[in-house]
Structure 1
C-alpha cells in the first residue's frame, strides 16, 4: 500500500482500540481473509475506498485490505510485471496474517488482468479462495477454477462468467457497480457466507488516514513535494484550526494521519515552482488507507487542457459513481446547476468533471461540453466562469445526487493561475 506494515499496524491498532474492531496484528485469528482490489482503466484504489471502509465496519482489519495498482495505459507491455507484483503482495499478506488464501476483486480492465493471472498457473489460482469480477470481462469457465461472483451493471444482460454466481444491477452504471451498497452486500455475503451487520461506513473516534500522491493515470508516485492536511470550515471551506504536515515517501505514500472523523479536510500538495494543488474531502468517518491524490506535472495530462487566470477558479470533481446530468444528479456551483444531458450524459459514464472558464472569457456556456476533455474516457469538461479576483472568498458548492440528499461542499475561490482545486465527492 505504500506505508510500512509496522506503521499501519500501530495506527490501526489504536483505531481499533477506539472502535472495538479487530486490528491487523490480530488478523491471524480472524475468520476474514486478506482482500486485494485490482482497478480498471485510469483507475486506482479510490474506486474501492467506500467498500474497504464498509468491510472494516463489519470487522475486517483494515491492514489486510489492499489494492494492486498499475499503469493501466501501459498494461499490454507490463502485464508480467503486474502479475509478479501481485505474487509478492499475496505472499506478503499470507505470511503476515497466517491466512490460507486471499480473496481477489477486480473491476473492468482489472478483470482482464486478474482472469489472466488466475488462468496463468494452478499455483497462482490455488492461493485464491474467492474471485469477484466487477462489470468487466466475460468467461466461459471459472477463472483458474476459482469460485467466482460476477457483478454486472447496465448493458448487455447476456454477459456472464460461466459457472459463477452472476448478479445483475441494470440500474447501476460501470463504476457504481464497484462502490454501491447493493454490490457490497453481494460481495460480503460471497466472501464470508454471512450477511453484513451493516452497509454503512461506521464512524470511529479517530480516523487514521493514509494513501498516495500519484500522477494520473499512471499511478506513479509523486516525489519532491510537501503535503499539508488542514481542517476546514463546513460553512466556508476555509482552513479552520491547526493542520498537520505529512512526509511523502519515494513511492508517493503518506500517513497515517490521525484525523477527526466528522471534519472536512483539505490536503495541500506543495511543489517548488508549481501551483499548489488543493484536495478537499468529505469527512472520512473511519480509518482509510485508499486515499489517492491524483495530480500531474506542469504542462502534462488533462490539467494541461485547463485554461487558467488570476480572475477565475478552476475546479475538478471526482465521484466513484457516475454523474447522470439529466437523470437525477445535480451539481450547483454558486447557485447554478452545471450538469445537464449534454455535458454529463448517462452513456458517457462520467466520474471526473473539470469545471473552468474555457477561453478565460468570463462567460459560462453549459450547452455543450468542452470537446478536448469530453473526449477522454470517464471525463467531461464544463465551461463555467467561477470568479476568483484577488480577495479570497468562497465558492458555494452543493451536490444533490440521485437517490441521495444534499451535501454542501464549499471551497475557497483560489485563483487558477496559482492553484488547482480537486473535490472528492462521496459515492454513498
Structure 2
C-alpha cells in the first residue's frame, strides 16, 4: 500500500483544516459543484446543500450535477450501453464547470465529489485543465487506489488499483511523491474501517475470503489533507453531518455555526423524474439507473396523515412530466408528510413516502420502480431505502414493519442500503420504518395492480 500523510481524526483536525483555507468571506463565497458517485444522482447532495445553506452559503452558488449515465463501464476502454467511461465523466464535468463559471461570473470553483465522482474530479483537475479554475477539492470515499488491485481481475476497470487510469492519476507529481495535482488544495474524507469499498477482504464485491490488496485507507492521497471519520459508511463520507463539518472547516477555516438543518417558513420543492435502463445486449441482467428524463410520466402528490400514512384529501399537486424531466415547483407545507405517486408505462405505480421537508430543494429527484420477476408472487411489496448511507445493525437503531433486523440487512457491516418486504396480504394497511430517530410511515398497495410502496429516508 502507498505511503500516506498522517491521517487525522476529525476531533483533532480543526487547526490543520483551518490552515488550508484561502476562500473569501461569506458574502463572496465561490460556487461549489457537487459530483455524485457510481449510479447515483444530484439528489444525494440534498442534505449537504441544506447544511451549506443553513450556514449562510448562497443557494445560487451550490450546483449539484446529474451525469446522464452515472454507471462506470466494466472495462473503461470498451463501449457499454447505458454506461460512461472516465473520459465521458471528465468531459461532462468540464462542461458543467464551464457552465457554472459563466453563469456566476466566478473565476474559480470548489469541487466536491463522492466515490466515483472523485475519479472524474481528479481526472479533470489533472488532465482536463481543471487546475486553472479549481481552488479546492473535497473527495469523500473516493476509491483513489481502487476497490481491488487483483492481478487478472478486471484490470481495465476504473475501480481497479492496477488500471492504467488510476496508475496515471496516482503517479508522483513531485519529488515528495505527492499524488495530487499541485496548485489546488485537497481534502480526502474516509471511514476508519466501515467503507464497503475500502476493505482488505472482498466480502462486499462478491469474493469473500479473497484479499483485495486494498486497505482501509484507499481514499487517502499523499499531498492531501486526509481526515478519518470514525464509523461512517461509504456514502456517509460525503453526506453525513461529520463530513459536512470537516468540509466546512477545510473551506473556511472556521467551525460551522450549526450542523443542524435550519427550517424555512416557505418551502418550494422541485426536481427531476428519471427512469431505469436495460442493456440491450443483456436484457436479462436487470434494470440499471440513469439520469435521463422520463417524459410522459405522471406525478401526483398527496398530503398524508403522520400516524397512518393515509391520504388526508385529494392530490395537492399533479403534473405530466415533459421532455426536460423537470417537475414542480410545488409549494409544500412545513411539517407535512407527503406521498409522491409516479406512474409511467413499463413501470410499477410507485408510492414514495418521505419525512417532512425542512427546507426548499431543487434536487428532489423521483424514479419509479419496476417489479422484478422474483417478486411477482408478492401480494404487496414495500421497499425501505436510505440513499445517503447504509444500514449497520451493530451501529444503528432501525426497524421495518416491526422487524429490528430488516430483511436483507446483515447482522454486521455497512454494505446494504435498502430492504424489501413481500407481504402475503394485499389489504391496504399502515407500514412504518425507522432509522436512528427518523420515522417513516406509509400505506401498502396491491402488487397485483402493479403498485409498489417505497419508504425513503432523508437522513
What TM-score does the superposition give when structure 1 sets the normalisation length? 0.76
Quote the Cα distance in structure 2 between the aligned partners of 1:245 and 1:178.
33
Quote the Cα distance in structure 2 between the aligned partners of 1:246 and 1:30.
37
Change (3 A) 1:233 1:306: farther
Asked if 1:88 corresponds to 2:80, the answer is: no
> Could you tell me which residue of structure 2 aligns to residue 374 of structure 1?
none
Matches within 5 A, 1:207-246: 207-216=267-276, 217-242=289-314, 243-246=316-319
2:71 to 73, 84, 97: 73
User: Which structure 2 residue ranges, 5 or more long, are not aligned?
Assistant: 1-25, 145-169, 171-177, 194-214, 277-288
2:429 to 371, 393, 396: 393
Whether the 8 Å contact between 2:381 and 2:447 is mirrored in structure 1 is: yes
2:375 to 307, 310, 335: 307
Whether the 8 Å contact between 1:326 and 1:344 is mirrored in structure 2 is: no
Change (3 A) 1:309 1:239: farther
Asked if 1:267 corresponds to 2:305, the answer is: no
Q: CA deviation at 1:419?
A: 0.8
> Could you tell me which residue of structure 2 aligns to residue 255 of structure 1?
328
Change (3 A) 1:239 1:144: farther
Change (3 A) 1:45 1:35: same
2:410 to 320, 339, 344: 344
Q: Displaced runs of 4+ in structure 1, greater than 4 A?
A: none
2:439 to 402, 408, 421: 408
Secondary structure at 1:294's aligned position in 2? coil
Moved more, 130-139 or 266-275: 266-275
Matches within 5 A, 1:8-407: 30-70=27-67, 71-75=69-73, 76=76, 77=79, 78=84, 79-121=86-128, 123-138=129-144, 139=170, 140-143=178-181, 145-155=183-193, 156=215, 158-159=217-218, 160-216=220-276, 217-242=289-314, 243-272=316-345, 274-296=347-369, 303-308=371-376, 311-333=379-401, 335-339=402-406, 343-347=409-413, 349-357=415-423, 362=424, 387-389=425-427, 392-395=428-431, 397-401=432-436, 405=437, 407=438
Whether the 8 Å contact between 2:394 and 2:413 is mirrored in structure 1 is: no
Whether the 8 Å contact between 2:405 and 2:411 is mirrored in structure 1 is: no
Quote the Cα distance in structure 1 between the aligned partners of 2:229 and 2:240.
10
Secondary structure at 2:307's aligned position in 1? coil
Secondary structure at 1:286's aligned position in 2? coil
Quote the Cα distance in structure 1 between the aligned partners of 2:182 and 2:321.
38
Whether the 8 Å contact between 2:296 and 2:320 is mirrored in structure 1 is: no
Quote the Cα distance in structure 2 between the aligned partners of 1:182 and 1:188.
10
Q: CA deviation at 1:330?
A: 1.9
Moved more, 83-92 or 418-427: 83-92
> Could you tell me which residue of structure 1 aligns to residue 456 of structure 2?
424
Q: CA deviation at 1:273?
A: 6.8
Quote the Cα distance in structure 2 between the aligned partners of 1:180 and 1:263.
24
Change (3 A) 1:136 1:96: same
Q: CA deviation at 1:241?
A: 3.7
Whether the 8 Å contact between 2:393 and 2:413 is mirrored in structure 1 is: no
Secondary structure at 2:243's aligned position in 1? helix
1:119-174 deviations in Å (ceiling 9; x for gaps):
114x3221111100111133442246421111011334544211111100131111
Quote the Cα distance in structure 2 between the aligned partners of 1:30 and 1:89.
23
Q: CA deviation at 1:268?
A: 0.9
Whether the 8 Å contact between 1:230 and 1:244 is mirrored in structure 2 is: yes
Quote the Cα distance in structure 2 between the aligned partners of 1:106 and 1:184.
12
Number of aligned residue pairs:
357
1:280-315 deviations in Å (ceiling 9; x for gaps):
11111001122222335x5xxxx4255135733333
Quote the Cα distance in structure 2 between the aligned partners of 1:59 and 1:51.
13
Whether the 8 Å contact between 1:207 and 1:287 is mirrored in structure 2 is: yes
Q: CA deviation at 1:323?
A: 0.4
Quote the Cα distance in structure 2 between the aligned partners of 1:346 and 1:145.
42
Q: CA deviation at 1:204?
A: 0.5
Moved more, 322-331 or 49-58: 322-331
Secondary structure at 2:367's aligned position in 1? strand
1:205-254 deviations in Å (ceiling 9; x for gaps):
12111111122422222111111122111011112245112342324222
